[in-house]
Amino acid sequence: MTVTDEVLESFAHAKDERFREVMRSLVKHLHAFASEVRITEAEWLAGIEFLTRTGHITDDKRQEFILLSDVLGLSMLTVGLNEPSQPGVTESTVFGPFFVDGAPEIQQGGTIAEGVKGTPCEVSGTVRNVRGEPIAGARLDVWEADEDGYYDVQYSGDRMAGRAWLRSDADGRYHFWSVVPASYPIPHDGPVGELMERAGRSPMRPAHVHFKVTAPGYRTLITHVFLAGDAHLKDDAVFGVKDSLIAQVEDRDGTPHLTFDIVLGDDQ
């Protein structure tokens, strides 16, 4: 019996069937990976040290493991595997590490940009279901970086800015004020940054606004709207861009305006 067989066997009697399936597959693929590259002991230790540093830099404001999953494409693979099958539903993308619970509620036409550096930009759209019916009272959580590419949590102190939530109105419409999003590098001063540097990869993400949209009876949507024309649409560090999520910033009487219409899938 090989060590791989022994380990697989050690999970064979786990009571939870899904746990058993996931762990056995993980062991099978981890062992296959180590065998395929004939991993040396020094390399294995370097891997352990990398994961240890990833853990040490992670706290309640910095999530280096999500970042690692993102730059390895594992987050987008997971998003794709769980995408609803109903046609017409707005596509999902990475959640990212910068969502924070407890953001303030704003009313229609309110701003998330209080104290955020940047050019004011109005964002509006509708929330509908796949039958084209408006969804009233959907909750939209929105968050974005400032024009320097930083989220509030990347500054010192506990100031919350550039994030809020609002509800769609009776016709499924929403609108709020923000700032024109800018492209920005993912945090690259930690282990994930070293990995990117070593790979010769850019840490940049194209400009975007994050949305998490929830409504009873519908599947939660986690997505972004990306800005057309951004130089990084083709080399997003976390592979999150989908063509259907790219929108043009229009000039409305001298004011930038972004339209993003959302279709939620049925909760099945």
Kindly list the residues in this chain that would bind ligand BEZ in the complex (CB under 6 A): 67, 70, 94, 96-98, 186, 205, 238
Output 8 or 112, the one with its CB closest to ligand BEZ. Answer: 112
DSSP category for residue 216: T
Output 84 or 97, the one with its CB closest to ligand BEZ. Answer: 97
Nearest distance, CB of residue 22 and ligand BEZ, angstroms:
24
- Picking from 127, 131, 68, the residue whose alpha carbon sits closest to that of residue 263 is 127
Output 218 or 239, the one with its CB closest to ligand BEZ. Answer: 239
SS3 254: coil
In single-letter form, the type of residue at position 154 comes to Q
Using CB atoms, what's the residue nearest to ligand BEZ? 96
Output 128 or 210, the one with its CB closest to ligand BEZ. Answer: 210
Nearest distance, CB of residue 90 and ligand BEZ, angstroms:
17
Nearest distance, CB of residue 24 and ligand BEZ, angstroms:
30
Nearest distance, CB of residue 70 and ligand BEZ, angstroms:
4
State the DSSP string of 96-149: -S---TTPPB--TT-BS-TT--S-EEEEEEEEEETTS-B-TT-EEEEE---TTS
Output 135 or 140, the one with its CB closest to ligand BEZ. Answer: 140
- Picking from 109, 94, 266, the residue whose alpha carbon sits closest to that of residue 178 is 109
Nearest distance, CB of residue 108 and ligand BEZ, angstroms:
25
- Picking from 74, 91, 40, 73, the residue whose alpha carbon sits closest to that of residue 247 is 91
